[in-house]
Structure 1
């Protein structure tokens, strides 16, 4: 089992070098009209929210709504009204672009997203041509799509974890997560998360940090053996529509110098 996880971790590390769309989450239909203020626009009714998570961090200065083409099940191509990194703007985040637009007109549903205009990652690499053809449906609930392991001394993690923390894993979900009905993450969510360590032990995080309603959560870990995968029990992490997560698991990519 451990050998398999190590193999998967190595494979995940290799894939990280190839930019791709990790997930497209049809997360809330309709959004509150004020959500368009995230893009500096006046309130707009009847808009859907759809976070798109990339395997790389995205250069926010290159983001525009016209860079994205959303295809619906009716064959229509929709240009979003708004595209923004908000609210996931913290330095270790910036890989989730929230699209706002009319992506489910009549009985149609979004089925894919393609990058058709200028968009770059933080290293200046073009993301034009990337396509995601799997859209998670509204009622499915959010799953984990990415996990990175950092030293808790990483300056961009300041204040997120208790002093006893030896390593921290940033968990990226398909969409924003909270407790049920928008409540803060609590003990139920902490104990729903299990980390498999390199020494074969499975532990719960010491604490969960970065408790804001975006799609990133920090698992603070007291043990020194490297985290190699994370699993979460179904039913504890809720999206903005209050849909709970299915059982989900992700391999951890290390950003620590061992």
Structure 2
């Protein structure tokens, strides 16, 4: 089911409609239903255990471009953007815009106009969902996000109903919020990125021995918007255990580039046990040009 969904998603993302002003490619990914329509009885094994929101990142205030807003959600006008990171990948068949409630600083509550996995749609990336809508302003910022509907994990074992997280303020830069060792069957070595801004990033080189996925709270690039390169690659510090000795490893390449999302793949040429990933402050920015903070993360697996 997972691979079948992703194959269909890739076809949607790379369709010629994507480059047309009124194209339906991205809107086919989004959901704008205002109420929870998931029949939870169809998921009898879904429980609350393990249901967490890792972050909600107020990344853009009225700054999603006019046409991008239309392509993503089918609505005109500049919108706010807030990626929400789940502790597990989500079955997007259970995802509706009405499943999310956003609390603002003044005590009011709003819901997103739509939600979408784009642009984080490669294998293993369906824990990031982008909310698009009106989430207040820099003077009345969102303070928390709560799941008020039945959103079920991809393995159908977890229901995120009731999960809640504080929102990272607009002025704050991105940080690492998740890391994991990528299963070998999901490596996609040598894969090229889509020629479109959305549609899947690059794979690690063929000589890769281990892949670590790191997930940032929001999309990251070099300051000014260019894709990261060797400067950022060399800044990643991977702590690994080699015969009970802690060593520092530098990725020999980065994967999952060229697709504008919040994920990087750290391509390693050794198989030592990875125990921690670190990245220094001030090298990358979110779409609002806020610099990343010094950050570190332990792989969940």
Tell me the equivalent position of 2:189.
158
Distance of 1:209 and 1:197 partners within structure 2:
19
Alignment of 1:86-125 (within 5 A): 86-105=118-137, 107-124=139-156, 125=158
Residue from 251, 264, 283 that aligns with 1:217: 264
Residue from 234, 253, 256 that aligns with 2:300: 253
Shift of 1:163: 2.8
Tell me the equivalent position of 2:4.
none
Q: Could you say what secondary structure the match of 1:201 adopts?
A: strand
How high is the TM-score relative to the length of structure 2? 0.74
Q: Could you say what secondary structure the match of 2:251 adopts?
A: coil
Q: Relative to 1, partners in 2 of residues 1:203 and 1:179: Cα closer, same or farther, differing over 3 Å?
A: same
Tell me the equivalent position of 1:232.
279
Q: Does 1:203 align with 2:235?
A: no
Shift of 1:164: 2.8
Q: Could you say what secondary structure the match of 1:157 adopts?
A: coil
Tell me the equivalent position of 2:236.
193
Tell me the equivalent position of 2:6.
none
Q: Does 1:146 align with 2:189?
A: no
Find runs of 4+ consecutive structure 1 residues off by over 6 angstroms: none
Q: Relative to 1, partners in 2 of residues 1:139 and 1:106: Cα closer, same or farther, differing over 3 Å?
A: closer
- Once superposed, what is the RMSD of the aligned Cα atoms? 1.6
Distance of 1:243 and 1:101 partners within structure 2:
21
Q: Relative to 1, partners in 2 of residues 1:20 and 1:155: Cα closer, same or farther, differing over 3 Å?
A: closer
Unmatched 5+ stretches in structure 1: 1-16
Tell me the equivalent position of 2:16.
none
Q: Does 1:127 align with 2:160?
A: yes
Q: Could you say what secondary structure the match of 2:224 adopts?
A: helix
Shift of 1:63: 1.3
Tell me the equivalent position of 2:75.
42
Alignment of 1:71-86 (within 5 A): 71-86=103-118
Distance of 1:203 and 1:253 partners within structure 2:
19
Q: Could you say what secondary structure the match of 1:198 adopts?
A: strand
Q: Could you say what secondary structure the match of 1:191 adopts?
A: helix
Unmatched 5+ stretches in structure 2: 1-48, 191-202
Number of matched pairs: 235
How high is the TM-score relative to the length of structure 1? 0.86
Distance of 1:66 and 1:169 partners within structure 2:
33
8 A contact 1:38–1:86 mirrored in 2: no
Tell me the equivalent position of 1:9.
none
Q: Does 1:178 align with 2:224?
A: no
Q: Could you say what secondary structure the match of 1:172 adopts?
A: strand
